[in-house]
Amino acid sequence: MKEIIRVELKSKKADPAAVETDLLVVGYFSGSKGLDRTGRELDRRLGGAISRVIELGDFKGKSGDSAIFYGEGRVAARRVLLVGLGEKTKAGPDTFRQAAALAANKAVELKARTVALVLHAAPGGRFDAATLAQVIAEGTYYGSYRYDEYVTDNDDGRLSTLEVELIDSDLQRLRKLKAPLARGTIIGRAQSYARTIANRPGNVINPPALAQEAKKLAAGTPGLTCTVLDEKQMKQKGMGGVLAVGGGSSRPPRFIVVRYVSKHAGARKLPRVALVGKAITFDSGGISIKPAANMDQMKLDKSGGLAVLATMKAVAELKLPIEVYGIIPSAENMPGPASFRPGDIITTYSGKTVEIQNTDAEGRMILCDGIEYAVKQGCDVIIDIATLTGACMVALGKYMAGLMSNDEALARQLKKAAEMSAEKLWQLPCGEQYAEEMKSKIADLKNIGSKWGGACTAAAFLRQFAGEKKWAHIDMAGMDVFEKPKESVSAGASGYGVRLLTTYLVNLANKKD
């Protein structure tokens, strides 16, 4: 098996023209009057090659644009990569995250061993240097990531490591970048971790294997503890939702709880937060089986769970002064002799009964037990995240996830984190009318609503399990995967939610609204 690419990110005092590297990366805003100081110096040494390409119009500097120049001994770098940053007035932190991702993606493609980044210099002090360093680190991990551990031939010759340096000739400035680079590295690595486990197929990651993975993560991460309930323990507790969904599979369900408590949590009087992530290791639909086309993508139905698990890793490594429960109910939704079936009435962990009308609406059946567990642990804030409904994809496309909540302040905090992390959210309703549709004549609830508003009725179902607790729901269906590679990122699991949830918790720990 091939190792997932290892990326080392450091900062170094160096002059761009004199740095020895396989790839020197410089940013450029479209519509700029000319090159900045670094660009001018490189251009002069390269005999005007950069300005000629810009004058010819071959490189416009739009985001996603890039151009390569060869050092040929005139600069110490083997290659210079000019990366488009788009219009300067429209630039934000994500411009630099994306530019770093594009550069890192190209670096892997070019089989560069070393990369030197001067992207942070481009805006000339218009952005907070620490923010830039953090997002550039995040982008570096994002763009260099590849999922190819089962590709046994190495014809493409991908290198196993990539060394990236953020360079600056000003030592004073460089020192200030160290801590945010380390933060970005923690978040970037956590996101890559989520992508790797999510990308692994259903025959490799089943619920017990995911539980093993969570245990391994907790054992290797100071501050994390992991408890796993097996099917017997779930039966004792009455977790009917998870057990019903997991019934059809020969791989039994697991209820995974990863906990992080900082020593400083109590003194800070911050809320106890629960993150609840849907981890269906494969969703065939069960007895209400899905059509064959693209069913392979349903290995990614565990992505919400992985967003939670990876966020727990990041939170522990960042040593945030808070208390968080990562709750990950996991099952494989399969047809089989012991499957739950349409018509069944399930008693969930909360005691509420649910009439099953479609076994493909399984996510809510495991999440409701996860939410109830959070309530029983006395969590003040409960956030669930799930690839829950095709209807959410129909509503929002693949650009943003749906957000539903019973608390406007919590929704606002999540929207702020979405803005900062560029993992976007769009708020949708989940009130009375939607809840009305989820009432059953023969049980307390049923598991599907009418033909319309499927994302909202699913959220209205979950809302009822949170009771009076502050609750938010993130429907990330469609956000879990890039079907095709992009300029800045390879195809496969996206790791969506890791930056979003981590940013929310960082802000909470900083008591920022």
Q: Which of 192, 281, 284, 389 binds ligand BES (CB under 6 A)?
A: 389
User: Does 384 engage in binding with Zn ion (CB under 5 A)?
Assistant: no
Give the nearer residue to ligand BES in terms of CB position, either 139 or 285. Answer: 285
Hey, how many other C-beta atoms are within 10 angstroms of the C-beta on 160? 10
Q: Which of 423, 9, 31 is nearest to 186 (CA)?
A: 9
Q: Least distance in Å: CB of 204 to ligand BES?
A: 19
Any residues with CB less than 8 A from the CB of 30 and at least 6 apart, and which?
Answer: 60, 61, 62, 65, 84, 85, 86, 87
Give the nearer residue to ligand BES in terms of CB position, either 38 or 387. Answer: 387
* Distance between CA atoms of residues 354 and 446, nearest Å: 5
The token duo for 222 is 């100071």
Q: Least distance in Å: CB of 444 to ligand BES?
A: 18
Any residues with CB less than 8 A from the CB of 363 and at least 6 apart, and which?
Answer: 278, 280, 283, 301, 386, 387, 388, 458
Residue 6 falls in the annotated catalytic set: no
Q: Least distance in Å: CB of 285 to Zn ion?
A: 6
Q: Least distance in Å: CB of 274 to ligand BES?
A: 21
Q: Which does 358 bind (CB under 5 to 8 A by kind): ligand BES, Zn ion, none?
A: ligand BES
**Contact positions with Zn ion (CB under 5 A) in 386-405:** none
Give the nearer residue to ligand BES in terms of CB position, either 94 or 423. Answer: 423
Hey, how many other C-beta atoms are within 10 angstroms of the C-beta on 399? 9
* Residues pairing with 13 in the sheet: 168
User: Dihedral of the CA atoms 437, 442, 443, 448 (nearest 10)?
Assistant: -40
Q: Least distance in Å: CB of 285 to ligand BES?
A: 6
Give the nearer residue to ligand BES in terms of CB position, either 48 or 390. Answer: 390
User: Does 381 engage in binding with ligand BES (CB under 6 A)?
Assistant: no
**Contact positions with ligand BES (CB under 6 A) in 229-288:** 283
User: Does 165 engage in binding with ligand BES (CB under 6 A)?
Assistant: no
DSSP 317-363: HTT-SSEEEEEEEEEEE--STT---TT-EEE-TTS-EEE-S-TT--H
Q: Which residue is nearest to ligand BES (CB)?
A: 390
Angle between helices 454-466 and 363-376 (to 10 degrees): 20
User: Does 358 engage in binding with ligand BES (CB under 6 A)?
Assistant: yes
User: Does 360 engage in binding with Zn ion (CB under 5 A)?
Assistant: yes
Give the nearer residue to Zn ion in terms of CB position, either 278 or 469. Answer: 278
Sign of the CA dihedral 473, 477, 480, 482? negative
* Distance between CA atoms of residues 437 and 455, nearest Å: 12
* Distance between CA atoms of residues 465 and 442, nearest Å: 19
User: Does 361 engage in binding with ligand BES (CB under 6 A)?
Assistant: yes
Q: Which does 246 bind (CB under 5 to 8 A by kind): ligand BES, Zn ion, none?
A: none
Question: Among the options 78, 254, 302, 364, which is catalytic?
Answer: 364
Q: Which of 64, 390, 429, 431 binds ligand BES (CB under 6 A)?
A: 390
User: Does 360 engage in binding with ligand BES (CB under 6 A)?
Assistant: yes
CB 117 within 8 A of CB 22: no
Q: Which residues of 167-198 are buried (b: 16+ CB within 10 A; e: fewer)?
A: bbbeeebbebbeebbbbbbbbbbbbbbbbbbb
Residue 268 falls in the annotated catalytic set: no
Euclidean distance between the first and the last CA atom of the chain, given in angstroms as a whole number:
45
Hey, how many other C-beta atoms are within 10 angstroms of the C-beta on 67? 18
Q: Least distance in Å: CB of 362 to ligand BES?
A: 5
Q: Which does 477 bind (CB under 5 to 8 A by kind): Zn ion, ligand BES, none?
A: ligand BES
Q: Least distance in Å: CB of 429 to ligand BES?
A: 17
Angle between helices 171-199 and 207-219 (to 10 degrees): 150
User: Does 301 engage in binding with Zn ion (CB under 5 A)?
Assistant: yes
User: How many residues bind to ligand BES according to rule CB under 6 A?
Assistant: 16
User: Does 301 engage in binding with ligand BES (CB under 6 A)?
Assistant: yes
Residue 277, SS3 per DSSP: strand
The token duo for 15 is 């002059």
The token duo for 9 is 């990110």
Give the nearer residue to ligand BES in terms of CB position, either 414 or 477. Answer: 477
User: Does 405 engage in binding with ligand BES (CB under 6 A)?
Assistant: no
Question: Among the options 237, 290, 398, 424, which is catalytic?
Answer: 290
- Left, alpha or beta for 319 (phi > 0: left; psi -120 to 50: alpha)? left
Stretch in the footprint of Zn ion (CB under 5 A) among 161-169, 305-313, 360-368, 421-429 = 360-368
Q: Which does 391 bind (CB under 5 to 8 A by kind): Zn ion, ligand BES, none?
A: ligand BES
Q: Which of 288, 277, 279 is nearest to 448 (CA)?
A: 288
Q: Least distance in Å: CB of 448 to ligand BES?
A: 4
**Contact positions with Zn ion (CB under 5 A) in 261-290:** 280, 283
Q: Which does 323 bind (CB under 5 to 8 A by kind): Zn ion, ligand BES, none?
A: none
Q: Which of 387, 405, 406, 503 binds ligand BES (CB under 6 A)?
A: 387
Q: Which of 39, 143, 363, 495 binds ligand BES (CB under 6 A)?
A: 363
* Distance between CA atoms of residues 135 and 27, nearest Å: 14
Stretch in the footprint of ligand BES (CB under 6 A) among 9-17, 197-205, 314-322, 384-392 = 384-392
Q: Which of 454, 492, 495, 497 binds ligand BES (CB under 6 A)?
A: 454
* Distance between CA atoms of residues 513 and 494, nearest Å: 27
Active-site amino acid positions: 290, 364
- Give me the residues that bind ligand BES (CB under 6 A), please: 283, 301, 358, 360-363, 387-391, 448, 454, 477-478
- Give me the residues that bind Zn ion (CB under 5 A), please: 280, 283, 301, 360, 362-363
